[in-house]
C-alpha cells in the first residue's frame, strides 16, 4: 500500500512539473527510456515491472492533464485575458481574497464582472491582480468595487535565475494584472457578500484589527502572522533576521499550530463526550472525538488563509483521523504522501510552489532522518530523535533554500530548538485562545493578545541576536536542476549507505557533483574569452561583464522609481549566483537615475564589490539616499572617474572618455560614465532595443 501510494504521488508530482517545463507529451517522454529496461528483464519480472510502469505513467499523465489547464488554459470568450491588452479601461468586480499588504502597496485579487465605460460596458469574467499604491488598505474580502486601470498581460524578466512570475500567477488563475497609482480611482459599490467564507474573513479582519490595537510594533505583525496567517506588515529587516536565523518558517501557520489546535480540540471533545454514559457505552469516544476535532481544524485552516503548509498539516490530521476510524495506526510517510497527492490534484501546479517544496521536504527529511538515525523507544533514543529534528530539517531543505533564495542558514541548527517553542506554543496558545474568545469576550481577548505580545518580545530579541553574526547565514551559488538532483542523491544515499544500491548511488551522485564543480571552476577561473550579458530589467539597464581572467564587472542594476521592486535582489543578484559569481570586482554606476542605480544597494550589501565606480555627480530623492547609505555601510572603496582617468589594470587598456573633467553642470543623462573599453563592448554587444533612460 505504501509503495503504491508513493509511486502514484511521485508520478503525479513529476507529471505536473514536467508538463510545466516541457510542452511535449509527458507519456512519451517518460515511456522512451523505460522500454529498453523492461525488455532486458526476465519474463517473470516483466509483468510486475509493466504493472508498476503502467501505474506510474497513468499517474504522471493525470498530473500532466491537470497541469495542462494551467499551462494552456481554455479561456471563455468573455475572459479579460482575451481583450486587446494593454487596455486602459474601467473594471467592476468583487475582491475574492483578503487584501495583501506590502510596504508601499496593497494587492487586490478581483473577480471581474464587467469592463468598459458607459454604453461600452460589457460583461466579462476572469480574475485580475490589482496593485494599489496604498500601504493601508480600506477594502476587505467580498467588497464590490469599480476601478480605473490599465490591464496588462504579466511578463517575466527573461534572465537566468529569474522567478517565474507568470507561472506563479497562472497557478492562481490570474492572467491579467493592473496597477492603480491613486486609491481615489477605486470606489466601493453596494452589495455585501454573505456565506461562511465571508463570515470567516470578517472574523479574520476583526482579529487583525484587535491585535493591531492591543499589541505594538514589532510584536503586533508577528502575532497576526501566527494567529491569522497575515504576514503583510512584518518589517523587512525583521523578516530578514528570521530568514538568516533559519526560523522564518515559524511565521507561517504550519504543522505545529494545526497540531496544537487538533490536540486541544480532541481533548475538549473527548472530555465532553465522556461525560455522557450512553455515548461511552454505545461508541468509541476517542474516534468520535477525533472526528469532532476536524471541525476546529477546518475552521482554523480557513481562518489562517489556506496556506500550503496549513493545508498540508490539515490534510495529514484528517488522514490520521481516518486511519483511526479504520482501526489502523497512522503512518506519517503515508499521510504525508496522501496530503501531497490531494494538494497536487486539487491545486494543479502546487508542486512548483516554494512553500509546497519546503513544507513537504522538511517533514520528509525529519521523518527519514530521525527514523534512520534515532531508532529506539528508550529515553536516550527519544532525546536523540528530538536533537536530530532541527539538523535533519535544515539539511533536507538547504538545497532548496539555495535554489530559491541563494542562501543557507548555519545558525538554524541552534536557533530552531530555542525559537520554535516560543513561537510555536508559548505564544500561539494565548493567541488562539484570544481568537476563540474574541466574538464573545473582546476585552478578555485583548488581555490575552497583550500577554502573547509580551511573550513574543524575548523571542524577537533572540532571533535578532542569532541573526546578527556575519556567519549566521551565507550566500551560495544557485544550483541547477541537475545539481539539485545530485545533491539530493548524495543526501538520500546516506540513509541507505549500508546497502549496495545506496553505496552505488552515493558514488555516482558524488562523482557527478565533483565533475560539475570542476567544470564550473574551469569556466569561472581558467583563462577564457570575454563574456558580456545584458539583463532584462525593464526601462533601465544592467550588464554583467565577465573578463577573460575570471574577474567580473557589473554596470548598472536597473530599478523602478517609486516602487518597492528591487531589481538587484530579483534580477541581477540571481543571475550572478546562477553564474556562480559570489563577489564582484567592480560595480559601476553610469549615472544616478533610479532606473540604472536602483538595484545597486542590494549588490553592495550581498556581492561585496572590491570597488565602486561613478562620476561623482550625485542624484536626488529616496533612491539616491538609499544608495549613499549602502555605500557607506559596505565600506566599499570608491573610485571617481572622469575624462582622461585611466581604468584599473584588470579592466584592460583604456581610459574614461566621458564625462568631461571640467565640472560644468550637466543633466544626469549627459554626464553618464563612458570608458573606452566599455564603449567598444557596448557597440559590439548592445541589443537594438537599448533605450535611453528618462
Rounded CA gap, 108 and 92, in Å? Answer: 13
Residue 46 pLDDT grade (very low, low, confident, very high; cuts 50, 70, 90): low
Give 67-109 pLDDT, tens digit per residue: 888 888 888 899 999 989 899 999 999 988 888 877 778 888 9
Please state the pTM of the whole predicted model: 0.81
How do the domains of the chain map onto residue ranges?
2-71, 80-193, 202-340+412-475, 353-410, 481-525, 531-685
Q: Cβ-count burial of 103 within 10 angstroms (0-12 exposed, 13-18 middle, 19+ buried)?
A: exposed
Task: Could you list the beta-strand ranges (E) of 509-564.
Answer: 531-534, 543-546, 552-555
3-state SS, 467-511, equals HCCCCCEEECCCCCHHHHHHHHHHHHHHHCCCCHHHHHHHHHHHH
Q: Are strands 87-95 and 106-115 parallel, antiparallel or unpaired?
A: antiparallel
DSSP reduced 3-state for 150? strand
**How far does Cα 187 stand from its chain's mean position?**
32
- Of 225, 297, 306, the closest CA to residue 264 belongs to 297
**Measured on CA atoms in the order 200, 255, 463, 434, is the torsion positive or negative?**
positive
Q: Class of the 531-685 domain?
A: alpha beta
| CATH assignment, 80-193 | 2.40.50.140
Find the angle CA(301)-CA(302)-CA(305) to the nearest 5 degrees.
90
C-alpha cell at 167: 507561472
Rounded CA gap, 72 and 80, in Å? Answer: 16
Rounded CA gap, 413 and 397, in Å? Answer: 12
C-alpha cell at 579: 553564474
Average pLDDT over residues 423-432: 82
Q: Cβ-count burial of 273 within 10 angstroms (0-12 exposed, 13-18 middle, 19+ buried)?
A: middle
pLDDT at 679 over 50: no
Residue 136 pLDDT grade (very low, low, confident, very high; cuts 50, 70, 90): low
Q: What is the pLDDT of residue 369?
A: 78
The answer to whether 348 and 67 have CB atoms below 8 angstroms apart is: yes
Rounded CA gap, 298 and 611, in Å? Answer: 55
Rounded CA gap, 396 and 371, in Å? Answer: 14
**Measured on CA atoms in the order 204, 205, 210, 213, is the torsion positive or negative?**
positive
- Of 199, 223, 200, the closest CA to residue 211 belongs to 223
Average pLDDT over residues 351-358: 84
Give 333-342 pLDDT, tens digit per residue: 888 888 888 8
Q: What is the pLDDT of residue 634?
A: 87
pLDDT at 524 over 70: yes
Q: What is the pLDDT of residue 650?
A: 59
Minimum mean pLDDT among 361-370, 494-503, 618-627: which range? Answer: 494-503
Rounded CA gap, 449 and 426, in Å? Answer: 12
**Measured on CA atoms in the order 195, 199, 200, 205, is the torsion positive or negative?**
positive
The residue behind cell 501557520 is 253
**Measured on CA atoms in the order 207, 188, 142, 166, is the torsion positive or negative?**
negative
**DSSP, residue by residue, 251-314:** GS--HHHHHHHHHHHHHHHHHHHHT-HHHHHHS-HHHHHHHHHHHHHHHHHHHTT--HHHHHHH
The answer to whether 65 and 166 have CB atoms below 8 angstroms apart is: no
pLDDT at 118 over 80: no
Average pLDDT over residues 164-185: 86
Rounded CA gap, 198 and 202, in Å? Answer: 6
Task: Could you list the beta-strand ranges (E) of 342-439.
Answer: 407-409
Give 598-619 pLDDT, tens digit per residue: 889 999 988 889 989 888 888 8
Minimum mean pLDDT among 4-8, 167-171, 522-526, 665-669: which range? Answer: 665-669
Average pLDDT across the chain, whole number: 79
The answer to whether 134 and 102 have CB atoms below 8 angstroms apart is: no
Amino acid at each position: 500500500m505504501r509503495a503504491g501510494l508513493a509511486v502514484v504521488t511521485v508520478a503525479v508530482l513529476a507529471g505536473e512539473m514536467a508538463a510545466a517545463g516541457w510542452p511535449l507529451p509527458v507519456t512519451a517522454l517518460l515511456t522512451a527510456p523505460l522500454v529498453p529496461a523492461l525488455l532486458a528483464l526476465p519474463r517473470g519480472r516483466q509483468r510486475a515491472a509493466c504493472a508498476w510502469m503502467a501505474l506510474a505513467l497513468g499517474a504522471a499523465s493525470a498530473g500532466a492533464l491537470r497541469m495542462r489547464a494551467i499551462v494552456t488554459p481554455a479561456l471563455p470568450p468573455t475572459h479579460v485575458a482575451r481583450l486587446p491588452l494593454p487596455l486602459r479601461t474601467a473594471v467592476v468586480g468583487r475582491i475574492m481574497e483578503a487584501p495583501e499588504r506590502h510596504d508601499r502597496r496593497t494587492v487586490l485579487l478581483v473577480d471581474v464582472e464587467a469592463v468598459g465605460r458607459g454604453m461600452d460596458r460589457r460583461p466579462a469574467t476572469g480574475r485580475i491582480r490589482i496593485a494599489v499604491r496604498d500601504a493601508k488598505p480600506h477594502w476587505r474580502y467580498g467588497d464590490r468595487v469599480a476601478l480605473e486601470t490599465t490591464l496588462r498581460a504579466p511578463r517575466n524578466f527573461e534572465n537566468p535565475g529569474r522567478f517565474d512570475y507568470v507561472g506563479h500567477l497562472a497557478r492562481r488563475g490570474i492572467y491579467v494584472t493592473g496597477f492603480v497609482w491613486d486609491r481615489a480611482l477605486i470606489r466601493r459599490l453596494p452589495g455585501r457578500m454573505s456565506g461562511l467564507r465571508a463570515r470567516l474573513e470578517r472574523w479574520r479582519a476583526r482579529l487583525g484589527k484587535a491585535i493591531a490595537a492591543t499589541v505594538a510594533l514589532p510584536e503586533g505583525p508577528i502575532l497576526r502572522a501566527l494567529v491569522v496567517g497575515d504576514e503583510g506588515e512584518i518589517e523587512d529587516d525583521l523578516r530578514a533576521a528570521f530568514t538568516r536565523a533559519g526560523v522564518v518558517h515559524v511565521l507561517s501557520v504550519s504543522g505545529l499550530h494545526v497540531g496544537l489546535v487538533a490536540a486541544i480540540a480532541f481533548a475538549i471533545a473527548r472530555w465532553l463526550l465522556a461525560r455522557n454514559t450512553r455515548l461511552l457505552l454505545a461508541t468509541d469516544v476517542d474516534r468520535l472525538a477525533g472526528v469532532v476535532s476536524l471541525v476546529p481544524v477546518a475552521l482554523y485552516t480557513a481562518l489562517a488563509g489556506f496556506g500550503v503548509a496549513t493545508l498540508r498539516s490539515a490534510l495529514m490530521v484528517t488522514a490520521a483521523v481516518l486511519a483511526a476510524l479504520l482501526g489502523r495506526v497512522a503512518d506519517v510517510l503515508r499521510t504525508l504522501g496522501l496530503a501531497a497527492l490531494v494538494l497536487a490534484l486539487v491545486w494543479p501546479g502546487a508542486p512548483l510552489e516554494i512553500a509546497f517544496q519546503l513544507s513537504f521536504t522538511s517533514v520528509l527529511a525529519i521523518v527519514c532522518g530521525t527514523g534512520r538515525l534515532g531508532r529506539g523507544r528508550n529515553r536516550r533514543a527519544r532525546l536523540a530523535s528530538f536533537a536530530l529534528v532541527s539538523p535533519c530539517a535544515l539539511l533536507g531543505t538547504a538545497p532548496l533554500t539555495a535554489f530559491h533564495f541563494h542562501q543557507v542558514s548555519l545558525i538554524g541548527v541552534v536557533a530552531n530548538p530555542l525559537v520554535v517553542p516560543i513561537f510555536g506554543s508559548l505564544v500561539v496558545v494565548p493567541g488562539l485562545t484570544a481568537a476563540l474568545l474574541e466574538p464573545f469576550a473582546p476585552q478578555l481577548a485583548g488581555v490575552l493578545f497583550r500577554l502573547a505580545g509580551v511573550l513574543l518580545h524575548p523571542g524577537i530579541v533572540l532571533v535578532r541576536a542569532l541573526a546578527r553574526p556575519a556567519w549566521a547565514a551565507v550566500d551560495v551559488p544557485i544550483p541547477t536542476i541537475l545539481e539539485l538532483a545530485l545533491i539530493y542523491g548524495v543526501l538520500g544515499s546516506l540513509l541507505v549507505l549500508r546497502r549496495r544500491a545506496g553505496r552505488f548511488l552515493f558514488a555516482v551522485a558524488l562523482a557527478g557533483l565533483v565533475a560539475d564543480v570542476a567544470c564550473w571552476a574551469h569556466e569561472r577561473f581558467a583563462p577564457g574569452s570575454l563574456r558580456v550579458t545584458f539583463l532584462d530589467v525593464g526601462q533601465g539597464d544592467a550588464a554583467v561583464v565577465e573578463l577573460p581572467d575570471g574577474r567580473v564587472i557589473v554596470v548598472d542594476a536597473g530599478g523602478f522609481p517609486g516602487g518597492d521592486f528591487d531589481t538587484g535582489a530579483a534580477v541581477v543578484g540571481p543571475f550572478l549566483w546562477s553564474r556562480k559569481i559570489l563577489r564582484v570586482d567592480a560595480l559601476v554606476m553610469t549615472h544616478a537615475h533610479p532606473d540604472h542605480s536602483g538595484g545597486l544597494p542590494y549588490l553592495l550589501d550581498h556581492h561585496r564589490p572590491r570597488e565602486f565606480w561613478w562620476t561623482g555627480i550625485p542624484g536626488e530623492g529616496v533612491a539616491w539616499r538609499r544608495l549613499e547609505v549602502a555605500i557607506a555601510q559596505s565600506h566599499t572603496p570608491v573610485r571617481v572617474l572622469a575624462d582622461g582617468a585611466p581604468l584599473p589594470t584588470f579592466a584592460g587598456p583604456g581610459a574614461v572618455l566621458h564625462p568631461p573633467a571640467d565640472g560644468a553642470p550637466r543633466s544626469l543623462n549627459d554626464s553618464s560614465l563612458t570608458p573606452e573599453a566599455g564603449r567598444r563592448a557596448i557597440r559590439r554587444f548592445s541589443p537594438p532595443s537599448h533605450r535611453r533612460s528618462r
